[in-house]
Amino acid sequence: MTQHGLAELLGITFQQIQKYEKGTNRIGASRLQRISEILRVPIGFFFENGGVGPIEGETSELNRFLSSKEGLALNKAFIAIEDPNIRQKLVALAKSLAVAGLSEIDGELQDPVVNG
């Protein structure tokens, strides 16, 4: 979402969005609520330690995931899925694939390669 896009949905200028981001202007509770709805995040997301964030120690893992091309693409695709049932099925699929991948890796590590 761009500043222009968000501003258009809110009926304000993108310069006003910039002022909110920089902290130049305060944002009212109702406008913050609307922004959270548009961005599909809880209001706590905008507050330090107020949102649903990673568990302590998982921050670097999350950052690594989101900084990878595949992680970012997967995250964007997941967010675009509105149906919670489909989201749950996708998480289950990813977990299954991860377990299968670990089994393959473990099998390769346990089977020594014989050079002949």
For the segment 70-104, what is each residue's pLDDT rounded down to a tens digit?
888 888 898 899 888 898 999 899 888 888 876 66
Q: What pLDDT, in 10s, does the model give residues 13-50? A: 999 999 998 889 999 899 999 998 898 888 888 876 66
Using left for φ > 0, alpha for ψ between -120 and 50, and beta otherwise, residue 112 falls in beta
- What is the DSSP code (8-state) at residue 114? P
* Secondary structure of residue 74 in the 3-state scheme: helix
Q: How much is the pTM?
A: 0.43
Q: Largest Cα–Cα distance in the chain?
A: 73
The tokens 């997941």 sit on which residue? 78
| The two structure tokens encoding residue 85 | 């049932």
**Measured distance CA(109)–CA(66) in Å, rounded:** 28
